[in-house]
Chains A and B, each alone.
Chain A
Amino acid sequence: MSIFTVSGSPHVHGEENVKKIMYTVVFAMVPAMLVSIYFFGIDAVRVLLISVISSLFFEWVIQKYLLKGPVTINDGSAIVAGILLGFNVPANIPAWMIIMGSLVMIGVAKMSFGGLGNNPFNPALVGRVFMLISFPVQMTSWPVAKPLFAPQLTDAITGPTALGLLKEGVDAGKTIEQIVSDPQMPQYLDRLLGNMSGSLGEISAVALLLGGIFMVYRKVIDWQLPVSIILTVFAVAGIFHLIDPQHYIEPSFHIFSGGLMLGAIFMATDMVTSPMNMRGKIVYGIGVGLLTIIIRLWGAYPEGISFAILIMNAFTPLINNAFKPKRFGIALKK
């Protein structure tokens, strides 16, 4: 007779597992990846490959030789982190910088806290901010987007991002009209599709949205979180635009330029570092949105979403403590 197994209930398990979630995220990033390859060509492939491979390598080395524990590089989390880091850098960045970035990302931001699930801050953003502060020149010289197979039209190899143009313009005292009429400023449709300067992943709002919808459909993220970020940015930018249209650009500009979409859909929704329940997620989203727009309008950097998310990451445990899910049978007063 065979020996039975005894364990506590339940005795069946759902279809979900960590690997599946991670590869769903990878799959959701494919449209944005394709767009970046379309506009930045072989450079995009180079950056993404280096980033993913070095992330996997560092995770493997640390798990195997430093922690001497089980190696879990096939759970997909290092791949997600690697792609996200690649998404956050310009296409023409030197390889060694990416490797440095992924070392900080995996080694400092992730493994030093205990690996997957234990990091308080989004590793990809820690990596990006580390690179931004360490290599400010390389991290902010953006190659001009050039559709694949399109003839070379301009001589410029690098150009400013839309947000960079805006910041420069505002700082120089120009009005919004003057800034928008700058020939380097990408047009509305270009911003939507991604035909502009910027980091690999942030350029195409449409591709990011596609990925986001897929993740919402697969229940990997909740739509409320990115929506609350975007709405907050829209609302605050809108208010200022209404008060003073000469100095504050219309709100949709903020939404479709820079890393807002990438941040809201792929970075802020990171399971590990975002709050655990719906009310908390919305508060967190509003916080990210507010901080982003504050940094964009009045900060030193043209873009603020990475800092905003990292700051709100620090508040996640507090939010988890303060906002509890609706309990069954508690405080039901009519």
Chain B
Amino acid sequence: MNDILLFTVLTLGLLGTVLAVILYFVAQKFKVIEDPKIDLVEDVLPKANCGGCGFPGCRSFAEVSVKSADEKRNLEGLNCPVGGNDVMKQVADILGLEVEEQEPLIAVIRCNGSHANAPSKVLYDGPASCSFAHNLFAGEGGCQFGCLGLGDCVVSCDFDAIHMNPETGLPEVNDKCIACGACVKACPRAIIELRHKGKKDRRIFVSCVNKEKGGPAKKNCSVACIGCSKCQQVCPFDAIIMANNLAYIDFEKCKLCRKCVEVCPTDAIHEINFPLRKAKAETDQTAEKKERAVKEVAATVSDAISPSVNESDTENKA
């Protein structure tokens, strides 16, 4: 009995020792010499592995950061959108560097072609995939630039930050958004843009990406940007760029003065999280006036660009 016990203990003990020695040498041989800073950096990262920084995961971001710090002594072009400035500051501290404060970004949907604004002209019957529908046709509302409303962006979001609003048929971004950029890549029509979150979450942007001339754009969608340049004229900071019949507000230059919002004849410029303006009682009359103004502007703009637009407009209606 004792013999057996002794034998077992001895064999197992010996086996353990031998294997431990082998393991030690193997571990020595295959040891990867890695900068310990990489682990430290990785520890402070959020570990969402979302790819928002442009690298495949938090580990590779850490590696690149350490490399950049070693070689260039800066962290240029590196930013963890999930962690934001706090995390980047911690990373910089570990690496003994200073980091510039980055303005936080958020995804913005630049289309307001809701069911009401851009009524359906055709029915789509197929899989809920924007990228497929984009290849198939212009869209239910008829606008070839606008949102298809099938939710590729919603599927792409890892942070539960973007959802379809069934009433409008458009996606909506909530404050969980960390600007990882997944939806920007997923949208086949490049409608979503990452913009400055803005002070107190206030933003002003042109909610349209339609590059058509005023007439055709307005035909499909009542809130399309018609390229009238009124906003550009009124902007005191040169923040508005006109290109391809479309206004674009440069968020680096925009000081959120809201002048452009007021002049936009089609309400294509959106302001978010601003306090209500002093109530201007808009009677039916003024609304009508506004409507007329829109038409006039659209007409003059079209004329200015190409006199033929009006003809096509009437022809198409006929």
A–B contact with Cβ pairs below 8 Å: the answer is yes
- A positions within 8 Å CB-CB of B: 3-8
Q: Does B237 contact A (CB under 8 A)?
A: no
Q: Does B132 contact A (CB under 8 A)?
A: yes
Whole-angstrom distance between the alpha carbons of A7 and B126 in the complex? 6
Interface residues of B in 150-182 (CB under 8 A from A): none
Q: Is the CB of B122 within 8 A of A5?
A: yes
Q: Is the CB of B120 within 8 A of A8?
A: no
Q: Is the CB of A6 within 8 A of B120?
A: no
Nearest-CB residue, chain A, relative to B140: A6
Q: Does B315 contact A (CB under 8 A)?
A: no
In the complex, chain A residues whose CB is within 8 Å of the CB of B136: 6-8
Minimum C-beta distance from A2 to chain B (A): 10
Q: Is the CB of A4 within 8 A of B122?
A: yes
Q: Does B25 contact A (CB under 8 A)?
A: no
Whole-angstrom distance between the alpha carbons of A199 and B123 in the complex? 54
- B positions within 8 Å CB-CB of A: 120-126, 132, 136-137
Whole-angstrom distance between the alpha carbons of A6 and B120 in the complex? 12
Among A4, A5, A6, A8, max chain B CB count under 10 A is at: A6
In the complex, chain B residues whose CB is within 8 Å of the CB of A5: 122-125
Q: Is the CB of A3 within 8 A of B121?
A: yes
Nearest-CB residue, chain B, relative to A5: B123
Q: 24 interchain pairs (CB within 8 A)?
A: A3-B120, A3-B121, A3-B122, A3-B123, A4-B122, A4-B123, A5-B122, A5-B123, A5-B124, A5-B125, A6-B122, A6-B123, A6-B124, A6-B125, A6-B126, A6-B136, A6-B137, A7-B124, A7-B125, A7-B126, A7-B136, A8-B126, A8-B132, A8-B136
In the complex, chain B residues whose CB is within 8 Å of the CB of A7: 124-126, 136
Minimum C-beta distance from A162 to chain B (A): 52
Minimum C-beta distance from B138 to chain A (A): 9
In the complex, chain A residues whose CB is within 8 Å of the CB of B123: 3-6
Whole-angstrom distance between the alpha carbons of A3 and B142 in the complex? 12
Whole-angstrom distance between the alpha carbons of A178 and B103 in the complex? 93
Minimum C-beta distance from A57 to chain B (A): 33
Whole-angstrom distance between the alpha carbons of A3 and B125 in the complex? 12
In the complex, chain A residues whose CB is within 8 Å of the CB of B121: 3
Minimum C-beta distance from A7 to chain B (A): 4
Whole-angstrom distance between the alpha carbons of A13 and B125 in the complex? 14
Minimum C-beta distance from A309 to chain B (A): 34
Nearest-CB residue, chain A, relative to B137: A6
Q: Which 6 A-B pairs have the closest CB atoms?
A: A7-B125, A5-B123, A7-B126, A6-B122, A6-B137, A5-B125
Whole-angstrom distance between the alpha carbons of A3 and B121 in the complex? 6
In the complex, chain A residues whose CB is within 8 Å of the CB of B125: 5-7
Minimum C-beta distance from B126 to chain A (A): 5
In the complex, chain A residues whose CB is within 8 Å of the CB of B120: 3
Whole-angstrom distance between the alpha carbons of A5 and B125 in the complex? 7
In the complex, chain B residues whose CB is within 8 Å of the CB of A8: 126, 132, 136
In the complex, chain A residues whose CB is within 8 Å of the CB of B132: 8
Minimum C-beta distance from A70 to chain B (A): 16
In the complex, chain B residues whose CB is within 8 Å of the CB of A4: 122-123
Whole-angstrom distance between the alpha carbons of A7 and B136 in the complex? 7
In the complex, chain A residues whose CB is within 8 Å of the CB of B126: 6-8
Whole-angstrom distance between the alpha carbons of A7 and B124 in the complex? 6
Whole-angstrom distance between the alpha carbons of A134 and B124 in the complex? 52
Whole-angstrom distance between the alpha carbons of A4 and B142 in the complex? 12
In the complex, chain B residues whose CB is within 8 Å of the CB of A3: 120-123
Minimum C-beta distance from A291 to chain B (A): 39
Minimum C-beta distance from A269 to chain B (A): 30
Minimum C-beta distance from B27 to chain A (A): 36
Minimum C-beta distance from A5 to chain B (A): 5
Whole-angstrom distance between the alpha carbons of A7 and B122 in the complex? 10
Whole-angstrom distance between the alpha carbons of A4 and B121 in the complex? 8
Minimum C-beta distance from B129 to chain A (A): 11
Minimum C-beta distance from B260 to chain A (A): 36
Nearest-CB residue, chain B, relative to A9: B136
Whole-angstrom distance between the alpha carbons of A4 and B137 in the complex? 12
Minimum C-beta distance from A199 to chain B (A): 44
Minimum C-beta distance from B143 to chain A (A): 14
Since A5-B122, A6-B125, A8-B132 are in contact, a sample of 19 more A-B pairs with Cβ atoms closer than 8 Å, ordered by chain A residue number, is: A3-B120, A3-B121, A3-B122, A3-B123, A4-B122, A4-B123, A5-B123, A5-B124, A5-B125, A6-B122, A6-B124, A6-B126, A6-B136, A6-B137, A7-B124, A7-B126, A7-B136, A8-B126, A8-B136
In the complex, chain A residues whose CB is within 8 Å of the CB of B124: 5-7
Whole-angstrom distance between the alpha carbons of A8 and B123 in the complex? 12
Among A3, A4, A5, A8, max chain B CB count under 10 A is at: A8
Whole-angstrom distance between the alpha carbons of A8 and B132 in the complex? 9
Whole-angstrom distance between the alpha carbons of A7 and B123 in the complex? 8
Nearest-CB residue, chain B, relative to A4: B122
Whole-angstrom distance between the alpha carbons of A4 and B125 in the complex? 10
Whole-angstrom distance between the alpha carbons of A7 and B128 in the complex? 11
Whole-angstrom distance between the alpha carbons of A6 and B127 in the complex? 12
Minimum C-beta distance from A315 to chain B (A): 32
Whole-angstrom distance between the alpha carbons of A7 and B120 in the complex? 15
Whole-angstrom distance between the alpha carbons of A3 and B141 in the complex? 11
Whole-angstrom distance between the alpha carbons of A275 and B120 in the complex? 44
Whole-angstrom distance between the alpha carbons of A7 and B125 in the complex? 5
Whole-angstrom distance between the alpha carbons of A7 and B129 in the complex? 12
Minimum C-beta distance from B67 to chain A (A): 40
